[in-house]
Structure 1
Amino acid sequence: MTKDFSGDRIILSDLGFFGYHGVMPEEAVLGQRFFVDLVCGVDLGQAGRSDELEQSISYAEIYEVAKAAFEAQRFKLIEAVGQHIVDRLFEAFPGIRWIEVRVRKPSAPIAMVAGEAAIELHRHRDDR
């Protein structure tokens, strides 16, 4: 069955973090920059009508949870980093129906002239 990722959403793009995630031993020592993009499916109808934050989810709080999840532990795979962020967001915010997360690693230790390595996860709350 195809999951529905439509509807209202809260978007946070280009969240920059410094971390020690990676398979290579030097990544655990030197660390590197990572960027995270989040799209959270949330019903924003009440917030749009009321203009009250209590009817929405604070993107500042989403950021804080994502940051804490990113920094909580060292992972070898950025897939695991992304999944950990998703899990923590679902735990913290019952109103989030689905999440798309992209974890980008612009300085991945591979011989690329430009660009970045990245993963993108699409998760629905009811798949947990």
Structure 2
Amino acid sequence: MDKVILNRMMFYGYHGLFPEENKLGQRFTVDVELMADLKPSGTSDNMNDSIDYGQVYQVVQKVVEGEAKDLVESVAEQVAQSLFQAFDLLKAVKVYIDKPGPPIPGYYESVGIEIYRERQDYD
């Protein structure tokens, strides 16, 4: 399957279980792999036959910088759902969300979650 990939998009959000996370917020980085048939756009050289990177960024930004969620898993699920709603060409998506410096005991560079969804998961 062909892919459109956006790496290390950075956003500021207020997601987490702890009150300080909801109050102070923190940085999140997001990677997405969007699976679609890109042969038509490769042949036509027409953006209408592909998935616009700028629009992908805007969709992800709206979710991550939007309503606070307790779990990063919920954020990722909403990102996936929103991408399927925005792009008819999208067949499957992988979403990775990285949360640097989580406020939990121990020393971590980051924690993250990754989900993979197909269009039929939402039919």
Q: Normalising by the residue count of structure 1, what TM-score does the alignment of the two structures yield?
A: 0.91
Letter in 2 for 1:97: K
Counterpart check, 1:49 vs 2:43 = yes
Question: 1:57: Cα distance to partner?
Answer: 1.1
Q: Indicate which of 73, 81, 92 corresponds to 2:86.
A: 92
User: What CA distance in whole angstroms lies between the structure 2 residues aligned with 1:14 and 1:110?
Assistant: 23
What do the CA deviations read for 1:68-125 (whole angstroms, capped 9, x no partner)? 1222210000000000111111111111000000111012112343421100000000
Structure 1 residue ranges without an equivalent (≥5):
1-6
Counterpart check, 1:105 vs 2:105 = no
> Which residue number corresponds to residue 14 of structure 1?
8
Question: Of Structure 1 and Structure 2, which has the larger fraction of its residues in strand?
Answer: 2
Counterpart check, 1:69 vs 2:45 = no
User: Would you identify which runs of 4 or more consecutive aligned residues in structure 1 move more than 4 Å?
Assistant: none
Q: Normalising by the residue count of structure 2, what TM-score does the alignment of the two structures yield?
A: 0.95
Structure 2 residue ranges without an equivalent (≥5):
none
Question: 1:40: Cα distance to partner?
Answer: 0.5
Letter in 2 for 1:84: Q
Query: How many residues are aligned here?
Result: 122
Q: Indicate which of 91, 109, 123 corresponds to 2:117.
A: 123
Identity over aligned pairs, percent: 38
